[in-house]
Amino acid sequence: MREDLSAAFDRDPSATSKLEMLLASPGLHAVWWHRISSFFYVKLSWKLIGRLSSQWGRFWTGIEIHPSAKIGRRVFIDHGMGVVIGATAIVGDDVLMYHGVTLGGKTLERGVKRHPTIGNNVVLGAHCIVLGDITVGDGAQIGAQAIVTKDVKPGATVVGKF
């Protein structure tokens, strides 16, 4: 939790203190809520409790993260409202995500990986949509409102429809 708090404070230039972030950052709260929901859903296999917990997190933060999604260390969701992270999504370490981001699927097929894998140190701009079982490489940047349906190479910057 300290690591998440420090990362959030470091990445939010409008934050005045870590106490402010602790008490008033929905992106930080959503990540913490996800870690709890994931514990129930994945570790204990209490699927219903995990899903209900994640829905409470969504209610309180406006950020929906499926409890089976894998979220790395020091992930920060800035502003956050409207973020959706699907069940088979994998988000690496030190990812910065802005409001309205969708990590979604392109198929309804069960039992397969349907959502993106986001590498380490990636920036996901406001309202970008990343769909399907694709990979966004380490250090990539996805621009605001971009729609991404193909793999993104490490260090690349993607804008528009890709």
Q: What CA–CA distance (Å, rounded) separates 38 from 143? A: 29
What pLDDT does residue 95 have?
98
> Is the confidence at residue 162, as pLDDT, over 80?
no
Question: For tokens 């399907």, what's the residue?
Answer: 132
Residues sharing a CB contact under 8 Å with residue 130, sequence separation 6 or more, in sequence order:
101, 102, 103, 104, 116, 118, 124, 136, 142, 148
pLDDT, mean over the chain? 96
The average pLDDT across 37-54 equals 98
What pLDDT does residue 159 have?
95
pLDDT tens digit sequence for 129-140: 999 999 999 999
Domain containing 79 equals 2-158
Residue 111's domain is classified under what CATH number? 2.160.10.10
Domain count, the chain: 1
pLDDT tens digit sequence for 84-121: 999 999 999 999 999 999 999 999 999 999 999 999 99
Q: Quick check: 95 and 124 in contact, CB under 8 A?
A: yes
pTM of the prediction? 0.94
